[in-house]
Structure 1
Amino acid sequence: MNRSKMYITTAANNPIWGAMYFGLLNFPVESPDSYALACADVGGPPCVPNPFEQPECATDDPATQTGMSYQPHRMYTMGPLPGGGADVGLVNRMKVNLVAFGSIPAVATLTMRTPVVDGEVTPLSVHIWQSTPGGRASSCDPSFEPAPSALVEGQVDIYLSDLSIDGVPVELGPNCRTERPSDLFLWGDFASGAYTAGGGGPLGSYEGLHPGSIVPLTSPVYQGAFDGRQIPASAGIDVAPFVDCGSESDDLSAVLTAMASGPNNPVAVTQGALVSSDGTVPFGDLAKCDPISGNCPLPGPAAPAMPPLPNGEVP
């Protein structure tokens, strides 16, 4: 069955931390005459054709296509270290409940990290498409108003440790992990509330949340962020099979795969507002409140409601 194998909930006192580089594009972008100009005021975010919906009358003529402002950002996940400082790349570490051999209760520590590539921690990329006042309307249907879209994408490696099955500890070894990273495509859940990179809001990855792109994303404004990819419709996260679990004499990888791996696992996330408005990140003390805005990172946002399971399944 296509069933979610784990129900992971992070409490408000155990949030996912992150440092965001806000607004990566410099305007104008190198040669603005060869790109679409700013959607609204001069100096604003550049325009791209809306890649997710267009009026029925739109053609290859850019004038018939609705333009959206495009804003890219970058986020590095991290976690506070016990003695101070930040563990960059850590997404979260928590206890999870599993089921072994179909019916036996099990508990393990699940750790998620963004991959390290060529010695560098990979970030999550935040993309926002939004209509702006004075933006580029379609010449064939000026009344057409597309909905905003937001996408947080990246990859995570998943590790399991400290397993106990029916109360009995089971040795998994130091590197029990998925054989490949899981792809994240977290879409802004605008039906549940607004989402902005700075203000946060609801995000999710499950069937029916977002239709994906209707065309490959090729505008030079993307600066290689998509390289002509067509973004698929929202679906749950696939958790790959596990490898290197147990010992040479007792390989438990297949058992862990049966317990925790599977396709189309739904995800719901609530991002909090940015804390440091003075342009700095307090890496030595991630819980430090922002002296300008008064915002504090703790407690984090409340856990969102459980997203719908695929194929109409019930918990």
Structure 2
Amino acid sequence: MRTEDKRTGLRRPARLVSVASAALVAGLLSGAGSRADEAPPSAAVLDYDCALPASGQADEPATGAPATTARSTVHASVKVATQLPTTAVVGKPIRPGPVQVAADLPRADLAAVLPTGTTDVSSEATLGVHVRQNKASADATWSGLDGTGTVPAEGAQMRLAHMGDVATITVGSPGDVELVAGELTLRITPAASGDPVTVSCTPSQGDEALLARVLVPGDDHPSGAPSTGTSRGTTGDRRGADGIDVAPQPTTPTGAETCPPDRPEGDLDLSQVPPPLPGTVLRPPVKLPGQPVCAYAVGYGTVRKLDGSMVINDPARTPALMNVNANVQTTFKQSGPFYTRLDSLAEVDLPDAESTFLGFGFAPVTAKVTFETGKLTISTGTIGDIPNGKPFAVATFFQSLRIHDVKVNGTPLDVGPDCRTSQPYRATLRGDFSKGGGYKDVLHGGILSGLVDIPAFSGCVGASGENVNALFTASISGPGNLVTMNQATVCAPKSAGAQGCPPVIPPLPPISRTTTP
């Protein structure tokens, strides 16, 4: 088949349209609103020299300043990991993913400056980062990185692991942007009792503490848009005099003032809840009055074939509020091993996700993805007798994807009005209750994740008759696509004091392409 170029009157092979379509599919979920244009999470292992306070000397209690008595110096190995785009655009923020800082310090030396018998500690890390591009430079302070650690009974090392969101970086000209680690401060507080101690670390002499490099091409080599994310947890940032802008710390974002007036209605889908242990006899389900609450849930949908992740309900834009009729039904055991469950019904109208990428490394392609989401059933409970009972949380729903508003190098690419998955697919997300897993319950939220099977695409036919169903199916459809969502604590407007209101928008969860639920 051949098509006519209306500008020249010449007929050109329809294959060119297919090539442009293939470029679209190859990077559909990349760029703004996604993470497919990123390299795997970058991790730098750095050598630091750390000054410890003298044994038994905590921070000054009156001011919180580090102790000024004699300090010993020890070696530490520090791993700094984050997620960054491979390329960025002049004038648009570069948004690092959640930053992880893991410091391995000599166990005996660190234990000596903590109160005798300390086993668990909390820690806050502050990392100075030098940003340089061409002859320009600026300094950022990645602070508010929270973590915990356990003093092992034996062994040479003790690890303090921290995580948090950090500042965005915007540059005003092309050229490689380099992030170089500077001083690291650890403020360590014993969990049981005692004042905090401060450990001050500097990069070891001769160690180039390069964290990451991001390419910012010029106009003759357009780049993909940087990925979206959050930038809380940073202070002390400043704008460089020659065009590097490090964003200041924003306040915790909030959205709507209260919940929608109407509760979700419909049938519960209990097909994905875990069964009780053998020998358990359940009572018939008991209907409850329910509780009107709402919450924001934000996260990623990863496409395994593209090794990339689209931001769902982007917190940096205008996310949608999830409306929940909490605890509308309960089920518990009549006899046998313990089992109890509370079921809730929810609904959310997710906003479109916008996507930008470079087809074949040079042709900017943009597209929008619409999520058509059915009612959500959220079930939480416990299986098995104490102390071995296991909590569970399951959120399940059906969803379809529709792709539209596609442009290649600014020129619309017609995929038709009904380019979508051929049928709805089930998404089942489960809460992680392991230590550090982050999920609490339906009212307090946390991280849920699960694998989905994306069906084949249909209806991707433009007015010219070009059918690109097979391209979308080959590049996107299939099993093993990880969805990870972070649900905030609910707003309960009818509770005493309207607890949790207004609802708060949570940060994006740490991105993972390899972890399965």
Shared fold (TM-score, shorter chain, > 0.5): yes
Work out the percentage of aligned pairs sharing the same amino acid. Answer: 21
Matches within 5 A, 1:1-315: 3-4=305-306, 6-10=308-312, 11-13=314-316, 14-25=318-329, 45-48=330-333, 63=336, 65=337, 67-77=338-348, 90-97=349-356, 106-114=365-373, 122-130=374-382, 137=385, 144-191=387-434, 192-205=437-450, 236-247=451-462, 249-278=465-494, 292-293=498-499, 295-298=501-504, 300-309=505-514
What do you get for the CA RMSD once the two structures are aligned?
Answer: 3.1
SS of 1:278's partner is coil
Q: 1:112·1:156 contact (CA, 8 Å) conserved in 2?
A: yes
Q: Distance in 2 between matches of 1:269 and 1:130?
A: 21
Q: Note the C-alpha offset of 1:104.
A: 6.4
How many corresponding residue pairs?
Answer: 209
Which piece of structure 1 moves more, 157-166 or 177-186?
157-166
TM-score by length of 1: 0.58
Q: Distance in 1 between matches of 2:459 and 2:502?
A: 40
- Relative to structure 1, the CA distance from residue 179 to residue 190 in structure 2 (aligned partners, 3 Å threshold; closer, same or farther) is same
Q: Note the C-alpha offset of 1:2.
A: 5.5
- Relative to structure 1, the CA distance from residue 5 to residue 170 in structure 2 (aligned partners, 3 Å threshold; closer, same or farther) is farther
Q: Distance in 2 between matches of 1:105 and 1:265?
A: 25
Q: Note the C-alpha offset of 1:97.
A: 4.5
Q: 2:305·2:475 contact (CA, 8 Å) conserved in 1?
A: no
Q: Note the C-alpha offset of 1:184.
A: 0.6
Q: Note the C-alpha offset of 1:253.
A: 1.8
Opposite residue 447 of structure 2, the aligned amino acid is P
Q: Note the C-alpha offset of 1:187.
A: 0.3
Q: Distance in 1 between matches of 2:333 and 2:358?
A: 47
- Relative to structure 1, the CA distance from residue 46 to residue 183 in structure 2 (aligned partners, 3 Å threshold; closer, same or farther) is closer
For the pair shown, the structure with the greater C-alpha radius of gyration is 2
- Relative to structure 1, the CA distance from residue 153 to residue 111 in structure 2 (aligned partners, 3 Å threshold; closer, same or farther) is same
SS of 2:427's partner is strand
TM-score by length of 2: 0.37
Q: Note the C-alpha offset of 1:239.
A: 1.4
Q: Note the C-alpha offset of 1:310.
A: 7.0
SS of 2:510's partner is coil
SS of 2:398's partner is strand
- Relative to structure 1, the CA distance from residue 245 to residue 151 in structure 2 (aligned partners, 3 Å threshold; closer, same or farther) is same
- Relative to structure 1, the CA distance from residue 241 to residue 303 in structure 2 (aligned partners, 3 Å threshold; closer, same or farther) is same
- The answer for unaligned runs of 5 or more in structure 1 is 26-44, 50-61, 78-89, 115-121, 138-142, 206-235, 280-289
Q: 2:490·2:500 contact (CA, 8 Å) conserved in 1?
A: no
Q: Distance in 2 between matches of 1:159 and 1:2?
A: 18
Q: Which residue of 1 aligns with 2:36?
A: none
Q: Distance in 2 between matches of 1:20 and 1:306?
A: 26
Opposite residue 402 of structure 2, the aligned amino acid is Y
Q: 1:130·1:149 contact (CA, 8 Å) conserved in 2?
A: yes
Structure with the bigger RCO (C-alpha within 8 Å, sep 6+) is: 1
Q: Note the C-alpha offset of 1:146.
A: 2.1
- The answer for unaligned runs of 5 or more in structure 2 is 1-302
Q: Distance in 1 between matches of 2:359 and 2:472?
A: 8
